[in-house]
A and B are shown apart, each in its own frame.
Chain A
């Protein structure tokens, strides 16, 4: 059995669907990809609020937050998430995955979202986006 050193810092990431978007197939795939990359995924599932995500991030000491969005709410919800984190004095990178048009992705990145991943993003790109968000 592989024996991970006790001091090994596991990346802990909170994954959630923010708002009333019920499409959770993608986020489940992402959860599995990140688990298989050796990360600890705290999976919150559907119908979360900015408050519930902030509470989970605090309690779980999350290194990153991943949000899945498939209902065109990203331009409203993503900045709301950043504002809630700022309010709670939490400096945690937020990554968005889902259906986001290119122009909107630009806007999200300049608003402070760490990365935007579209449909069909390969596993190594998903993993790299999380790792890079921690480095910066």
Chain B
């Protein structure tokens, strides 16, 4: 009997026993937000919470997939069983996607590693729901760490990856001066900085710019009040250089989270973020048909039309 024909409860059972086909199936349900997705959440929620969630983000081409691939080769040697959620954008025009992260991971990654490619699928709310759901499935199935890899463009992508226990931001030499470093909201979520392609000219300049930015966080009082300062690691991921140092920095950050009590705080924030995303998604889909039927003749102002719909929906 094919796994496609089994009831979802039995598929969860198989997945928790480590059946990879079953895990792959559950991730599809969660991603599609099928009716089964809620049942999967109920069945996996209690089993999850053990895994260290690591976000890896940065600009396109920075080397996120290559670094992730190298980590998934290193980690099994250290006794870990990692899973990777690799997020790539869907085309806004056709809804299709080319998910190519495996190209850079497969040849490097060990056989015990589970890699799943996820497309952003159009609307922003979708990713905010599917990523925590997929992470929960991996976590419940015993994978640790769970690595979320995503391009750091778009607020939802940054939010999702920033909600990890440890967020690694990958930049490259020549990527921008100190002013750029201060502009980019991405940098504020970093727990570990990686300057990848560090064999290229300008790596030390980039390092100096990042150090200056961190110094300025201290001056402006935005610094982490537990005294944690994100380390800057130099890597050449294609060669594997510096990859062990990246993992050591991730582990050190995790220890800091535990000893400072920040782990519980972050996880509570993540929990709230997921609740908020679900409520917003529910409201968004509830409002969609009313918005489609809205009076757009121009007789009433947009503010008036919106107020009328909102009042009707939430019963004020």
Contact = CB atoms under 8 A, between A and B. Distances in A.
Which of B4, B23, B92, B117 has the most A CB atoms < 10 Å from its CB? B117
Q: Give the bracket for the number of chain A residues in contact with chain B.
A: 35 or more
B102 A43 contact: yes
Nearest to B122: A4
Interface string A6-17: 111110100000
Given A2-B92, A90-B21, A35 B98 contact: yes
Q: Give the bracket for the number of chain B residues in contact with chain A.
A: 35 or more
B20 interface: yes
Contacts of B13: none
Contacts of B117: 40, 42, 60
Interface string B9-39: 0000000000011011101100011100000
Contact of B126 (A6, A41, A48, A90): A6
Contacts of A65: none
B123 interface: yes
B33 A7 contact: yes
* Chain B interface, >50% SS class: mixed
B114 A3 contact: no
A34 B102 CA distance: 18
A64 to B, nearest CB: 14
A59 B115 contact: yes
Interface in A47-102: 47-48, 52, 55-56, 58-61, 88-91
* Chain A interface, >50% SS class: mixed
Nearest to B29: A61
A44 B95 contact: no
A61 B92 contact: no
B33 A43 contact: no
Interface of B: 2, 4, 20-21, 23-25, 27-28, 32-34, 90-100, 102-103, 106-107, 111, 114-117, 119, 121-123, 126, 285, 288
Interface of A: 1-4, 6-10, 12, 31-32, 34-45, 47-48, 52, 55-56, 58-61, 88-91
